[in-house]
Amino acid sequence: MGSLLTEVGGFRKRRARLRIALVYPNTYKVGMASLGFHTVYSLLNSYEDVACERLFLGMKTTIESGSPLSAFDVVGFSLQYELDFINMVSILDACGVERLRRDRAKPMVIAGGPCCVNPLPLTRIVDLFVVGDIEPVADRLVDGLLSGARPAEIASPNGLFCSELMNPTKAAKAMDMDSIPAPTNQPHPTTSGFRPALGSTFMVEISRGCNVRCRFCMYSHCSHPKRERSLLRIREIVEEGLTVTGLAKVSLIGALVTDHSQIKEILAYLVEKGVSVSLPSIRTDEVDDEMLELIGQLGIRTITVAPEGSPHIRSILKKDLGEEGLRYVTDSAFEHGVRKLRLYFITGVPGETSEDLEYIADLCLELSKRYGGRGAVTASVNPLVPKPHAPTQFLPMADPRTIEGNYRFLRKALGPRVDLKLQSIKESIIQTYLALGREKTGGVLLQASGAGLGLAAWRRIAESEGDPLSRVFRGATATPWDLIDSGLPQTYLQRQHREMIAARNATAAPSGNH
């Protein structure tokens, strides 16, 4: 696959004392749409003595020099989704790198990314984890690697967790977004068929963290508090990035970009610049007429909104979203040229009733009718995946039969009028199992990876390893991942959990109020 690919941009450093292969355990198209991956690639290459090259799922050698992973001093994995743990094992196998850290002399395996806030299922494989932001720990990490230090010597209570030591670690946070480097030399493909998931676009991170802290959102609880890049710095990055890459499209990246205190100024600048723009999910309560006008001027054709569910479900998940604001914003967006609306929902929340499901169906049908019928509205429905360090970590996942029933209801109710995307139940169960995993889970992962994603195989192996898959349906009673400190006190998570249970027990909102 790698030999067919041609790119512009990136780094090709011939001589360096330290060679790092940065691996995205998914396809090139998916990985190249990850700004986090570009950030780490660029940051590591900014060190004179380091050459960092990329490898994706399905490739046997790196893009930059065509080297096998065994030729590198370090292999670094970017872990954005728990299911990519399976691909991580497959890549090590396919590239001839010993899976188990106890049997491996070289290369050192390091992992970073959002999933590292629970490193437990990977401690048999990974030597060292970057927990939280990489920027505050990059100097220590690179200096340690250059000096030939062992993982245990590089470990730090601030952001560097070592599997051998199991050292309690606080997630590192880069507090000043203006002082950290941004990747302006983002490589992109020139070969058709390799276009990243977001298209060929220059990505700029405008904020980290999100103060809304919906109760299911691991990211917001681990990247607290919210931090912003200033308009001035964003402009500098965009100017340099567009010049260096030659791209003509900008993607604003952040957990909640409409929450940025200077979002209107940022959008106005991009209008003035005449580039096309893509926005991630918007929070309708924050969007006013002026912002809608700017969205229209930018030629944005698709907007994404995540109502998650009925007002009852939103009160359980602490997703504040006004009913009137939702319709006002989507109506106005379509008046300003938007042609497609993507909606995200969660099902299987404990306390969910038939009225909550009817709400999803009614809302989708109403909006589809409002905005021109088939093709105008896409509804993505995902089972609730309880995650570590979020208040939902204590919740059981819904029984697969319940979710199947919910899917059947929605398929029938929506028919062909709404484009319905239903997340695989099987994958969601394995994702929850890995997200709330412990050390024993690593043994299951190592055996089951070769067996693919067959649920029966996972169930059998999990049972034999003494960490049954069924634990995801019972809810967590212990939270062993607390050796990672996300930055929020346990008392906060426990209070949120109590409030979530109280909201679950409250009367479900009557249907038909929309």
Report the interface residues with ligand SF4, using CB under 6 A: 210, 212-214, 217, 219-220, 255-256
Q: Which is nearer to ligand SF4, 83 or 256 (CB)?
A: 256
Q: Which is nearer to ligand SF4, 38 or 213 (CB)?
A: 213
Q: Quote the least distance from Cβ 210 to ligand SF4, whole Å.
A: 3
Q: Which is nearer to ligand SF4, 214 or 300 (CB)?
A: 214
Contact, 38 vs 7, CB < 8 A? no
**CA-to-CA separations, 143 to 49, 149, 164, 166, 411, in angstroms, rounded:** 10, 9, 20, 21, 55
Partners of residue 22 on adjacent β-strands: 54, 76
Q: What is the 3-state secondary structure (H, E, C) of 253-302?
A: ECCCHHHCCCHHHHHHHHHHHCCEEECCCECHHHCCHHHHHHHHHCCCCE
Q: Which is nearer to ligand SF4, 465 or 499 (CB)?
A: 499
Q: Quote the least distance from Cβ 256 to ligand SF4, whole Å.
A: 5
Q: Quote the least distance from Cβ 117 to ligand SF4, whole Å.
A: 14
Q: Quote the least distance from Cβ 218 to ligand SF4, whole Å.
A: 8
The radius of gyration of the chain's CA atoms, rounded to the nearest angstrom, is 23
Residue 482 CB neighbour total at 10 angstroms: 15
Q: Quote the least distance from Cβ 402 to ligand SF4, whole Å.
A: 23
Q: Which is nearer to ligand SF4, 75 or 117 (CB)?
A: 117
Find where tokens 């927990």 sit.
131
In the structure encoding, which two tokens stand for residue 386, read together? 């309880």
Tell me the residue type at 58. G
Cα-Cα-Cα-Cα torsion 255, 179, 117, 119, nearest 10 degrees, comes to 140
Angle at 340 between CA 336 and CA 344, to 5 degrees: 120
Q: Which is nearer to ligand SF4, 217 or 444 (CB)?
A: 217
Q: Quote the least distance from Cβ 115 to ligand SF4, whole Å.
A: 16
Q: Quote the least distance from Cβ 255 to ligand SF4, whole Å.
A: 4
Contact, 419 vs 381, CB < 8 A? no
Q: What is the 3-state secondary structure (H, E, C) of 14-44?
A: CCCCEEEEEEECCCHHHHCCCHHHHHHHHHH
Q: Which is nearer to ligand SF4, 124 or 221 (CB)?
A: 221
In the structure encoding, which two tokens stand for residue 32, read together? 């190249």
Q: Quote the least distance from Cβ 320 to ligand SF4, whole Å.
A: 9
Q: Quote the least distance from Cβ 190 to ligand SF4, whole Å.
A: 33
Q: Which is nearer to ligand SF4, 213 or 227 (CB)?
A: 213
In the structure encoding, which two tokens stand for residue 415, read together? 């028919």
Closest-CA residue to 469 (of 438, 500, 430, 420): 430
In the structure encoding, which two tokens stand for residue 486, read together? 């996300």
Contacts of 341 (CB under 8 A, 6+ apart): 302, 303, 304, 305, 330, 333, 334, 367, 371, 376, 377, 378
Q: Quote the least distance from Cβ 284 to ligand SF4, whole Å.
A: 11
In the structure encoding, which two tokens stand for residue 264, read together? 């209107």
Q: Quote the least distance from Cβ 281 to ligand SF4, whole Å.
A: 7
Q: Which is nearer to ligand SF4, 395 or 461 (CB)?
A: 395
Q: Which is nearer to ligand SF4, 217 or 484 (CB)?
A: 217
Contact, 74 vs 21, CB < 8 A? yes
Q: Which is nearer to ligand SF4, 19 or 283 (CB)?
A: 283
Closest-CA residue to 141 (of 17, 10, 220, 44): 44
Q: Which is nearer to ligand SF4, 92 or 218 (CB)?
A: 218
Q: Quote the least distance from Cβ 308 to ligand SF4, whole Å.
A: 8
